[in-house]
Amino acid sequence: MLHSLAFAPREALEGDFVSTTREAFRVAHDISAYSLVALTREVAPLMTNGGSIVAMTYYGAEKVVPHYNVMGVAKASLEASTRYLAYDLGPKKIRVNCISAGPVQTLAARGISGFTSMLKHYQERAPLKRSCEPAELGATGVFLASDAAAGITGQVIYVDGGYQIMGM
């Protein structure tokens, strides 16, 4: 099962994080993080011979990315939920992992101001001098779904041109 869904109210991705309303915080966590728990609970009984669950996350879960705000906090919850689900479902041979993607030009990204400068930032700083291609995210998903990844669970795999390893 692929979990590739997130939402925070637009206004929560604009101003300061400190201004996040209780309702925007609730909606972001409900749609972006709790949905993984709810979907996993429904799909696990169908995975009678083991299985693989993959969720999409982003670096803003672990370090501050200006304007990512409450989405970063919700992604931190998604990553922690992945670990607890991996622990619960491990005995059933169901693995749960996250793919942490570098920025990709998608429909959702088009609405984000400063997105082009974010891609340029990766081209300057990532070891591979770029972010990632959609096909590379797909290939990592196929890997995690396959028996080649049979020993991998509860992890966050970075497909970001290596950006996440850098300290400066």
Instruction: Give the integer Cα–Cα distance in Å for 121 and 91.
Output: 42
Across-strand partners of 158?
A: 100
Contact indicator for 37, 96 with CB cutoff of 8 Å: no
72/34 Cα distance (integer angstroms):
14
Among 6, 99, 156, 157, binds ligand 0WE (CB under 6 A): 6
Catalytic residues: 58, 68
Q: Is 92 in the site for ligand 0WE (CB under 6 A)?
A: no
* Shortest Cβ 111–ligand 0WE spacing (Å): 5
Nearest distance from residue 109's CB to ligand 0WE, in Å?
5
Cα 107 off chain centre by:
17
DSSP for residue 34: I
Residue 2 CB, nearest approach to ligand 0WE (Å): 15
Binding site for ligand 0WE (CB under 6 A): 6-8, 10, 13, 58, 65, 67-68, 71, 103, 108-109, 111-112
